[in-house]
Structure 1
Amino acid sequence: MSYKIDVVIEKDADGYYAYCPALKGCQTQGDTLEEVQANIKEAIELYLSTLR
């Protein structure tokens, strides 16, 4: 099954921050854009697995 979930990624002085507005508390950070993208993908998967 696949889902389409909006993700917000912001750059700040320490790197990148990402969160999913639809998934309360689903957030992460990373030093690079690639790292934060991988981290948010994992965070979403873990978040959704707790709902099953």
Structure 2
Amino acid sequence: MGHNGEAAPRVCVPANVVSEFIGLLCGMLIRRKNASSSQYTTNKDTGDTEC
């Protein structure tokens, strides 16, 4: 809500743009999680990874 009780301006974004953005965001988070967890594993553990 804006000042003096007026409604805040609405921003219209196509749903496919939103879903693509969410997909990219999730992909980045998963990649970051995998990258940070791989710092603590040794090379012999890479054969037992779940994908």
TM-score (norm 1): 0.44
- Which is helix-richer, 1 or 2? 2
Does 1 or 2 have the higher relative contact order (CA < 8 Å, sep 6+)?
A: 1
Larger radius of gyration: 2
